Structure 1
Amino acid sequence: MAQRLTDAEIQEQAGGLSDWTVEESKLQTTRTFKDFIAAIEFVNKLVEPAESAGHHPDIEISYNKVKISLTTHDAGGLTQKDFDVAAVLSQIN
Protein backbone atom coordinates (compact mmCIF):
# COMPACT_ATOMS: atom_id res chain seq x y z
CA MET A 1 0.00 0.00 0.00
CA ALA A 2 1.20 3.50 -0.83
CA GLN A 3 2.12 5.76 2.08
CA ARG A 4 -0.07 8.79 2.76
CA LEU A 5 1.73 12.12 2.36
CA THR A 6 2.02 14.65 5.18
CA ASP A 7 0.30 18.04 4.88
CA ALA A 8 3.66 19.68 4.14
CA GLU A 9 4.44 17.13 1.40
CA ILE A 10 0.98 17.64 -0.10
CA GLN A 11 1.41 21.43 -0.23
CA GLU A 12 4.86 21.06 -1.80
CA GLN A 13 3.58 18.63 -4.45
CA ALA A 14 0.47 20.71 -5.15
CA GLY A 15 2.64 23.74 -5.86
CA GLY A 16 4.04 21.94 -8.89
CA LEU A 17 0.63 21.34 -10.50
CA SER A 18 -1.24 24.18 -12.12
CA ASP A 19 -5.04 23.96 -12.30
CA TRP A 20 -5.22 21.36 -9.49
CA THR A 21 -6.45 22.03 -5.96
CA VAL A 22 -6.43 20.00 -2.77
CA GLU A 23 -9.85 19.65 -1.17
CA GLU A 24 -10.84 17.20 1.57
CA SER A 25 -7.94 14.78 0.97
CA LYS A 26 -8.52 14.85 -2.78
CA LEU A 27 -6.56 16.35 -5.63
CA GLN A 28 -9.05 17.94 -8.06
CA THR A 29 -9.26 19.76 -11.35
CA THR A 30 -12.11 20.77 -13.64
CA ARG A 31 -11.77 21.10 -17.39
CA THR A 32 -14.25 22.89 -19.63
CA PHE A 33 -14.85 21.94 -23.28
CA LYS A 34 -16.91 23.30 -26.15
CA ASP A 35 -19.63 20.66 -25.76
CA PHE A 36 -20.57 17.25 -24.37
CA ILE A 37 -18.91 15.31 -27.19
CA ALA A 38 -15.56 17.03 -26.60
CA ALA A 39 -15.87 16.34 -22.85
CA ILE A 40 -16.46 12.63 -23.48
CA GLU A 41 -13.57 12.48 -25.95
CA PHE A 42 -11.33 13.91 -23.24
CA VAL A 43 -12.55 11.37 -20.68
CA ASN A 44 -11.79 8.54 -23.11
CA LYS A 45 -8.19 9.80 -23.32
CA LEU A 46 -7.84 9.31 -19.54
CA VAL A 47 -8.40 5.55 -19.71
CA GLU A 48 -4.99 4.37 -20.95
CA PRO A 49 -2.81 6.41 -18.59
CA ALA A 50 -5.00 5.50 -15.60
CA GLU A 51 -4.89 1.82 -16.51
CA SER A 52 -1.13 1.94 -17.05
CA ALA A 53 -0.64 3.53 -13.63
CA GLY A 54 -3.10 1.18 -11.96
CA HIS A 55 -4.62 4.25 -10.33
CA HIS A 56 -8.03 5.48 -11.43
CA PRO A 57 -9.57 8.92 -10.98
CA ASP A 58 -13.12 9.64 -9.93
CA ILE A 59 -14.75 11.48 -12.83
CA GLU A 60 -17.85 13.69 -12.91
CA ILE A 61 -19.24 14.89 -16.23
CA SER A 62 -21.71 17.74 -16.49
CA TYR A 63 -22.36 18.58 -20.13
CA ASN A 64 -19.12 20.32 -21.14
CA LYS A 65 -17.32 20.14 -17.78
CA VAL A 66 -15.20 17.24 -16.51
CA LYS A 67 -14.17 17.14 -12.86
CA ILE A 68 -11.31 14.78 -12.03
CA SER A 69 -10.62 13.76 -8.43
CA LEU A 70 -7.68 11.69 -7.25
CA THR A 71 -7.13 10.10 -3.85
CA THR A 72 -5.66 6.81 -2.69
CA HIS A 73 -8.63 5.17 -1.00
CA ASP A 74 -6.71 2.35 0.69
CA ALA A 75 -4.25 4.87 2.20
CA GLY A 76 -7.03 7.15 3.38
CA GLY A 77 -5.78 10.24 1.56
CA LEU A 78 -3.25 11.60 -0.88
CA THR A 79 -0.13 9.65 -1.85
CA GLN A 80 2.62 10.13 -4.39
CA LYS A 81 0.54 8.03 -6.82
CA ASP A 82 -2.11 10.76 -6.92
CA PHE A 83 0.39 13.45 -7.83
CA ASP A 84 2.13 11.24 -10.40
CA VAL A 85 -1.17 10.48 -12.15
CA ALA A 86 -2.24 14.15 -11.95
CA ALA A 87 0.99 15.17 -13.70
CA VAL A 88 0.30 12.72 -16.54
CA LEU A 89 -3.36 13.71 -16.87
CA SER A 90 -2.41 17.38 -16.95
CA GLN A 91 -0.66 16.77 -20.27
CA ILE A 92 -3.84 15.49 -21.96
CA ASN A 93 -5.89 17.94 -24.03
Structure 2
Amino acid sequence: MVLEAAELEKQLGDLPAWQCQSGRLVRTLTFRNFADALDFVNRVGKLAEEANHHPDILLHNWNQVTLTLWTHDAGGLTLLDVNLAHKIDAVAS
Protein backbone atom coordinates (compact mmCIF):
# COMPACT_ATOMS: atom_id res chain seq x y z
CA MET A 1 0.00 0.00 0.00
CA VAL A 2 1.36 3.41 -1.00
CA LEU A 3 2.04 5.66 1.99
CA GLU A 4 -0.16 8.72 2.39
CA ALA A 5 1.62 12.08 2.58
CA ALA A 6 1.27 12.43 6.37
CA GLU A 7 2.61 8.93 7.02
CA LEU A 8 5.47 9.45 4.58
CA GLU A 9 6.44 12.69 6.30
CA LYS A 10 6.42 10.90 9.67
CA GLN A 11 8.58 8.06 8.29
CA LEU A 12 11.06 10.50 6.76
CA GLY A 13 11.63 11.97 10.21
CA ASP A 14 13.53 8.79 11.01
CA LEU A 15 15.49 8.94 7.73
CA PRO A 16 17.18 12.36 7.68
CA ALA A 17 19.75 11.37 5.03
CA TRP A 18 17.01 10.51 2.51
CA GLN A 19 15.14 13.00 0.34
CA CYS A 20 11.75 12.53 -1.26
CA GLN A 21 12.09 13.44 -4.94
CA SER A 22 9.31 12.86 -7.46
CA GLY A 23 7.68 10.24 -5.24
CA ARG A 24 10.90 8.34 -4.59
CA LEU A 25 13.38 8.11 -1.72
CA VAL A 26 16.84 9.20 -2.81
CA ARG A 27 20.17 9.20 -0.99
CA THR A 28 23.67 9.94 -2.27
CA LEU A 29 26.72 8.80 -0.32
CA THR A 30 30.35 9.72 -0.92
CA PHE A 31 33.18 7.31 -0.13
CA ARG A 32 36.95 7.63 0.15
CA ASN A 33 37.57 5.69 -3.03
CA PHE A 34 36.07 3.46 -5.70
CA ALA A 35 36.73 0.25 -3.75
CA ASP A 36 34.76 1.48 -0.73
CA ALA A 37 31.88 2.64 -2.95
CA LEU A 38 31.79 -0.71 -4.73
CA ASP A 39 31.88 -2.60 -1.42
CA PHE A 40 28.90 -0.56 -0.22
CA VAL A 41 27.00 -1.33 -3.45
CA ASN A 42 27.62 -5.03 -2.90
CA ARG A 43 26.39 -4.82 0.71
CA VAL A 44 23.24 -3.00 -0.42
CA GLY A 45 22.75 -5.63 -3.11
CA LYS A 46 22.80 -8.34 -0.46
CA LEU A 47 20.22 -6.48 1.64
CA ALA A 48 18.05 -5.97 -1.43
CA GLU A 49 18.17 -9.65 -2.31
CA GLU A 50 17.26 -10.64 1.26
CA ALA A 51 14.32 -8.20 1.21
CA ASN A 52 13.36 -9.10 -2.37
CA HIS A 53 13.13 -5.35 -2.93
CA HIS A 54 15.64 -3.75 -5.27
CA PRO A 55 16.64 -0.09 -5.40
CA ASP A 56 18.05 1.67 -8.40
CA ILE A 57 21.78 1.98 -7.70
CA LEU A 58 24.07 4.42 -9.50
CA LEU A 59 27.82 4.32 -8.87
CA HIS A 60 29.24 7.54 -10.29
CA ASN A 61 32.14 9.95 -10.01
CA TRP A 62 34.28 6.95 -8.93
CA ASN A 63 33.31 7.37 -5.26
CA GLN A 64 29.64 8.28 -5.08
CA VAL A 65 26.60 6.03 -4.86
CA THR A 66 23.06 7.25 -5.39
CA LEU A 67 20.22 4.98 -4.28
CA THR A 68 16.62 5.43 -5.37
CA LEU A 69 13.80 3.52 -3.71
CA TRP A 70 10.15 3.10 -4.63
CA THR A 71 7.82 0.17 -4.99
CA HIS A 72 7.28 -0.25 -8.71
CA ASP A 73 4.27 -2.54 -8.55
CA ALA A 74 2.51 -0.32 -5.97
CA GLY A 75 3.22 2.83 -7.95
CA GLY A 76 4.81 4.76 -5.08
CA LEU A 77 6.50 4.65 -1.73
CA THR A 78 5.57 1.90 0.71
CA LEU A 79 6.85 0.54 3.99
CA LEU A 80 9.10 -1.78 1.95
CA ASP A 81 11.03 1.30 0.86
CA VAL A 82 11.18 2.77 4.34
CA ASN A 83 12.35 -0.52 5.85
CA LEU A 84 15.05 -0.99 3.21
CA ALA A 85 16.20 2.62 3.69
CA HIS A 86 16.69 1.91 7.41
CA LYS A 87 18.71 -1.22 6.61
CA ILE A 88 20.83 0.70 4.11
CA ASP A 89 21.46 3.43 6.69
CA ALA A 90 22.67 0.76 9.12
CA VAL A 91 25.32 -0.53 6.69
CA ALA A 92 26.27 3.00 5.64
CA SER A 93 27.40 3.96 9.14
More helix by share: 2
Aligned residue runs from structure 1 range 6-45, under 5 A: 6-45=4-43
What are the ranges of 5 or more consecutive residues in structure 2 without an aligned counterpart?
none
TM-score w.r.t. the length of structure 2 is 0.93
Percentage of matched positions with identical amino acids: 41
Aligned residue runs from structure 1 range 62-73, under 5 A: 62=60, 63-73=62-72
1:80 aligns with 79
1:43-85 deviations in Å (ceiling 9; x for gaps): 0111221111110110011110000010001111100100000
What are the ranges of 5 or more consecutive residues in structure 1 without an aligned counterpart?
none
- List, as ranges, runs of 4+ consecutive aligned residues in structure 1 with deviation greater than 6 Å: none
1:56 aligns with 54
SS in 2 for 1:90: helix
Q: CA deviation at 1:10?
A: 0.8
Return the letter of the residue paired with 2:86.
Answer: A
**Partner Cα distance (2:4, 2:15) in 1:** 17
Higher mean alpha-carbon deviation, 40-49 vs 78-87, is at 40-49
Return the letter of the residue paired with 1:90.
Answer: D
Return the letter of the residue paired with 1:69.
Answer: T
Task: Tell me the matched-pair count.
Answer: 91
SS in 1 for 2:20: strand
Give the RMSD, CA atoms, in angstroms. Answer: 0.8
Q: CA deviation at 1:38?
A: 1.2
SS in 1 for 2:90: coil
